[in-house]
Structure 1
Amino acid sequence: MIATLRYEFLMQVRRPVMWIVYALTVAVLLATGPGFSTLSLGGSDARDAKTAMVLLAPIMMTLMPIVYGCMLADRLVRDRRLGVDAVLDTTPADRTGRLVGKYLGACAATAVPFLAAYFARALVYVVAEGRPSALGWAVAVFVTTVVPGLLFTGALALAGPLLMPPMLFRVLFVVYWFCFVVIPPSVLPSPSYSIISPEGDYMRYGLYREGLAEGEVYRPSTAYAALDETGYFNFLRPDATPATALLWAALMLALALALLALVRLHAARTES
Structure 2
Amino acid sequence: MKQFASFLGAFSYEFRMQIRRPALWITMTIIIILILASTGRSTFLVSYAQHVNKQSAASALVVWMDFLSILLPIGIGLMMADRLYRDRKTQVEELFTSLPNALSSRLLGKYLGGLGAAALPLFTIYMLGVLYILFQTSDWLVLPQAVAVFALVSLPGLLFISAFSLACPRVIWVPLYQFLFVGYWFWGNLLHNPQIPSLSYTLLTPIGDNLSRAFFPGRDQLFISSNPTPLVNGFISLGLLVGLAALVLIVLVALMKWQQAQQ
For residues 224-256 of structure 1, give each alpha carbon's deviation from its aligned partner in whole angstroms, at most 9, with x where no partner exists: xxxxxxxxxxxxxxx622222122111111010
Distance 1:90 1:6 in 2: 19
1:44-83 aligned at under 5 Å gives the runs 46-83=54-91
Q: Do 2:25 and 2:121's aligned partners in 1 also have CA atoms closer than 8 Å?
A: yes
Match of 2:22 in 1: 16
Whole-angstrom CA distance in 2 between matches of 1:146 and 1:196: 13
Judged with a 3 Å threshold, the aligned counterparts in structure 2 of structure 1 residues 260 and 124 are, in CA distance, closer, same or farther, namely same
Deviates more, 1:240-249 or 1:127-136: 127-136
Q: Indicate the residue corresponding to 2:4 in structure 1.
A: none
Deviation at 1:77, TM superposition (A): 1.7
Equivalences for residues 65-104 of structure 1 within 5 A: 65-104=73-112
**Structure 1 residue 172 corresponds to structure 2 residue 180:** yes
Conservation of the 8 A alpha-carbon contact between 1:68 and 1:110 = yes
- Could you tell me which residue of structure 1 aligns to residue 235 of structure 2? 246
- For the residue of structure 2 that corresponds to 1:66, the secondary structure is helix
Corresponding residue pairs, total: 251
Q: What displacement does 1:188 show?
A: 3.2
What is the one-letter code of the residue matched to 1:9? F
Q: Closer, same or farther in 2 for the Cα pair 1:242/1:64, shift >3 Å?
A: same
Identity over aligned pairs, percent: 30
Q: In the alignment, is the contact (CA less than 8 A) between 1:54 and 1:210 conserved in 2? A: no
The CA deviation at 1:204 is: 1.4
For normalisation by structure 2, the TM-score amounts to: 0.87
Aligned alpha-carbon RMSD (Å) = 2.3
What is residue 162 of structure 1 aligned with on the other side?
170
* Partners of 1:241 and 1:35 in 2: CA distance: 30
The whole-number CA distance in structure 2 between the counterparts of 1:91 and 1:133 is 47
Distance 2:128 2:120 in 1: 12
Would you say the 8 A contact 1:19–1:113 is kept in 2? yes
> TM-score under structure 1 normalisation?
0.84
Name 1:257's counterpart in structure 2.
Answer: 246
Aligned residue number for residue 12 of structure 2: 6
Q: 1:61 to 1:42 in 2, by over 3 A?
A: farther
> Bigger CA drift: 176-185 or 76-85?
76-85
Structure having the higher helix fraction is 2
For residues 210 and 27 of structure 1, the distance between their equivalents in structure 2, rounded to whole angstroms, comes to 31
How far the C-alpha of 1:44 sits from its partner, in A, is: 6.2
Q: Does the aligned pair in 2 maintain the 1:122–1:135 contact within 8 Å?
A: yes
1:202 counterpart = 2:199: no
Q: For residues 146-184 of structure 1, what are the alpha-carbon distances to aligned partners after superposition, in whole Å with 9 as ceiling and x for unaligned? A: 001100011011012112111111110000000111122
- 1:193-236: per-residue Cα shift (whole Å, max 9, x none)? 11111112222111101448xxxxxx96x65xxxxxxxxxxxxx
Unaligned runs of 5+ in 1: 213-218, 224-238
